[in-house]
Each structure stands twice: as structure tokens, then as C-alpha cells.
Amino acid sequence: MKTKHILVIVAMLMIFAVGFAYWQYNKPHRDASSEKAAFSMTAPELYNAFEADENAALIKYGSQLIEVTGTIKQSTAGDDSKTMILLASEHPLFGIKTMFQTPVINPPAVGEQVVIRGFCSGINGDVELTRSTIMNVKK
Amino acid sequence: MKKLIIAIALSGIAVATYAQDNYFTRNGKAAFFSSTPIEDIKAINEGVVTVLNVTNGNIEVSMLNKSFQFKKALMQEHFNENYMESNTYPKSAFKGTVSMEEVELKKPGKYDVTVAGDLTIHGETKKIQVPGTIEVKGENLIANTVFKVVPEEYGIKIPGTVRNNIAEEIEVTIDLTLQPLVQ
């Protein structure tokens, strides 16, 4: 009987292992709209943090979900690809580049204030946020 | 590269005079594709930053590794944590020249060019030379190139257990719509 018990346990462990592997392989991407934002700040504040100390900012903000409030400087938010909203910082050219997986319906216009959440990849000219979502549009 | 762009943006009269010399994009596209009998792997980065000087052909291309998007979250995680080690090497970059003498900027059309320079991935730099095209379209220049990368040449370690899941050579496609950089 002991052998039978062991076989049942082994079978259950194998089913569990296969199930776990399947779940891991198919696990969904992190979701900016449902996950809790690790940080909430203005676009200039986020940009300045990276400007001041890129290495420290990467450690603090890298891969984190960040909620940013800012003014839209440039937008291709309604486009099928390269869907992006650039939020202004104090820098003349660079800011917070928020990138979207799908086009934004009724995208807000340049000049409007928005709250956007995205996952921080680091800084490359702009500070980049990916898999972004617009939380609300402030008028 | 950021210093280059700041220097250009803030250099006043020189920029105004030669404003058409430099072309820029902040949402160029880099895609890589690996195909094996076991599975296909594809990733896209739509935040590629590029500055191209059309007078001397100097080009700088850079992208953040964590901005590559995969269909499968687990693949994206493995890419960043195990292969690219993105916390240590946040960016992939290219610095070199484009044979702009082949391109007639005032004449719309597609021109064949050669791109040569240093490709840096995972902290390793290798010299590459690849063909590409530049299309003159209105005010913009559309640049395109496709080339192959061998991960091991850039110190990327792929474990034996998954080696057959990933192609020996990864196909990289770059698509950039460059606009004149004006103040």
C-alpha cells in the first residue's frame, strides 16, 4: 500500500509541476491599470531624478510602475504603431516618453494635462515608460 | 549621445544655419526575430532614439533593452534577467556612419546605403558593416536595415536546456522615420 501512496503523491506532484510550468509560460504581462503604482510624481520630478543620478534612479525606478502627471508635448497616441505620448520636462528636447501597446481611443491633445501610468525602462534621452495607460485627462 | 543632442540644440546660430544637417527620431522601431522548429520568438522596441548627420553620415542609434516587448511575459522576463542582464546593461547602441553620399536629399526616392560602425550589446562592442536603405520622403528620411546577430558573440549566455529554442542567428530589423532636428 505504501508504494501505491508514493505513486499517487508522485503523480500529483507531476501534475502540479506541469500545471505550474504551463501557468508560468502563459502568465500575463503586468497591467498598469490594475497594479498599484510604486511611485506617483510629476513629469519634471521624474526626469530630474534621472538627470541628477541616473544609476540611483535606475535602481529606484527601473521596472517599477510609475504614475506620472504632466503636460503633453508631443503625441502619436492614436496611431497604430509607435503609439506614444511625450510629457514635458524642464529640458528643451527630452521628457517622459510613455509608450502604449495599443492605440488610444480619443487621445488627449498636445497641451493637455494627463495622468499616465507605465513601467519604467530607464533613460535614453527621454525617461521611458512602457505598456502605459492613461488614468484620466485633466482639463 | 545626449551631450551631442544638447550641444546641437543649444548651439544657436550654428544650428540655425545648418538646421537641416541633423535628423532625429525618438520612436524608431527595432525588432528581432528568432525562428526554430521548437518556437518563434519576436520582440519589438518602438522607442529607438537616433541622430543622423546627413552631411558627414555620422549616426548614433540607441535603445533601452527593457523597452523590448514580447508576446509572452515570461520570455520578456528571461530576456531581461537572464540574457541581456538589463539591470547591468540597460541599453543597446550603434555608433557609426551611413554612406550618405549615395543619397540625393532633394530627390524623393529610395537609395541603397552602407552602414558601418560599432554595435554594442550586453556590454560587448563589435564592428559591423551592413547594407541599408534611406528613402527621401517629403521632409523625412526613412531608414531601414536588416542584419543578423549571434548572441554568443556579445557574451549572451543561453543555457543548454533552451539552446534549441533560440536561433543561432537572430534577425534584427531597424525602421526609423527621421525628421529634421530643429530648435
Question: How confident is the model over B150-173, as pLDDT tens digits?
Answer: 999 999 998 888 889 999 999 999
Q: Which residues of B touch A (CB under 8 A)?
A: 1-2, 5-6, 9-10, 26-27, 29, 46-47, 49, 62-67, 69, 72-74, 76, 80, 87, 90-91, 183
Question: How confident is the model over B78-101, as pLDDT tens digits?
Answer: 999 999 999 999 999 999 999 999
The stretch B64-84 carries a mean pLDDT of 96
Q: Which residues pair with B131 in a beta bridge?
A: B114
Rg (CA), chain B: 17
| Cβ <8 Å between B90 and A94 | no
Share of chain B above pLDDT 70, in %: 92
Whole-number pLDDT of residue B14: 45
Whole-number pLDDT of residue B13: 44
- Its ipTM equals 0.89
Taking each helix axis as running N to C, give the angle between helix A54-61 and helix A43-52, from 0 to 180 degrees, rounded to the nearest 10. Answer: 130
Instruction: Tell me which residues of chain A have a pLDDT lower than 50.
Output: 139
**Alpha carbons A75 and A68: distance in angstroms, whole number:** 16
By the 8 A CB rule, do A103 and A84 touch?
no
Model confidence at B12: pLDDT above 50: no
* pLDDT tier at B7, thresholds 50, 70, 90: low
**Which of A20, A22, A82 should be substituted to probe chain B, the one whose Cβ sees the most B Cβ atoms within 10 Å?**
A82
**Alpha carbons B30 and B101: distance in angstroms, whole number:** 25
Whole-number pLDDT of residue A139: 45
By the 8 A CB rule, do B33 and B40 touch?
yes
Whole-number pLDDT of residue A138: 53
Helix (H, G, I), strand (E, B) or coil at A138: strand
| Cβ <8 Å between A130 and B87 | no
| Cβ <8 Å between A92 and B67 | no
Give the nearest chain A residue to B24 (CA atoms).
A93
Give the nearest chain B residue to A28 (CA atoms).
B73
| Cβ <8 Å between B62 and A28 | no
| Cβ <8 Å between B90 and A121 | yes
Model confidence at B126: pLDDT above 80: yes
| Cβ <8 Å between B47 and A124 | yes
Question: How confident is the model over B21-36, as pLDDT tens digits?
Answer: 999 999 999 999 999 9
Tell me whether A102 touches chain B (CB under 8 Å): no
- CB burial of A69-97 (b: ≥16 within 10 Å; e: otherwise) equals bbbbbebbbeeeebbbbbbbbebebbbbb
**Minimum-distance CB partner of A97 among B2, B26, B183:** B26
The stretch B40-69 carries a mean pLDDT of 97
**Cα-to-chain-centroid distance, residue B112:** 17
Report the predicted TM-score, pTM, of the whole model to 2 decimal places: 0.89
| Cβ <8 Å between B73 and A30 | yes
Nearest to A96 by CA among A58, A76, A123: A123
List the Cα angle A94/A95/A96 in 5-degree steps. Answer: 140
